[in-house]
Amino acid sequence: MRDSIKEFVSGIRGVWSSAYARSVTAVRRTLRDSRGAAAVEFALCAPLLIGFIVPITDIGMRGYSSLQVEIAAQAGGRYAILHGWDSTGITNAVTSATGFTTIAASPAPASSCGCPSGNTIGAATCGGTCANGETVGTYVTVNAQAPFTPLFPLPGIVDATTLTSQVIVRVN
């Protein structure tokens, strides 16, 4: 009977050790397996990437919209240089300069006479002479503005605002 018990225990040990060896091998194989690792890494990184991409997209769109407003104001200034003072023509040039339908010539174009002084234009009587001996010039002020609304407003980073641009040109 002792021999049969020894054989039984020996058999159990053999089965147990081979099962244990197989499970250890399976665990090691599983730990070395890299299938699906990219999916897990992407799942962990995707929210962070989206968190960076969305504000960058809004900042880029704001810059592009601001550039379009500047182009519209410059188009109005160019029209004034080529055609002189024509409020309706300048306004049409501003609103049709880009594909943005929200750009407006606001405040309306204005014409004034003045003398240049550094970075400013001092008011003067049309047809007169400036202090430096030059003839008083006629200046046209062209304004353009458009509302900007970000896709995902982030306070302090990208806010809804009105983009504005102003161009002052001498027409004579």
Give 1-19 pLDDT, tens digit per residue. 566 666 665 665 655 566 6
Asked if residue 2 is part of any domain, the answer here is no
- If one counts the domains in the chain, the total is 1
Q: What is the domain range of residue 125?
A: 37-170
Q: What would the pLDDT profile of 77-123 be if each residue is shown by its tens digit? A: 999 999 999 999 999 999 999 999 999 999 999 999 999 988 889 99
Give domain status of residue 18, yes or no. no
Query: pLDDT tens digits, residue range 126-142?
Result: 989 998 899 999 999 99
What whole-number distance in Å separates Cα of residue 102 and Cα of residue 160?
A: 14
- The pLDDT value recorded for residue 111 is 95
Per the domain annotation, does 24 fall within a domain?
no
CA distance linking residue 10 with residue 12, whole number of Å? 5
- Judge residue 113's burial from the number of C-beta atoms within 10 Å of its C-beta, 0-12 exposed, 13-18 middle, 19 or more buried: middle
DSSP strand E in the chain: where? Answer: 110-117, 120-123, 137-148, 161-170
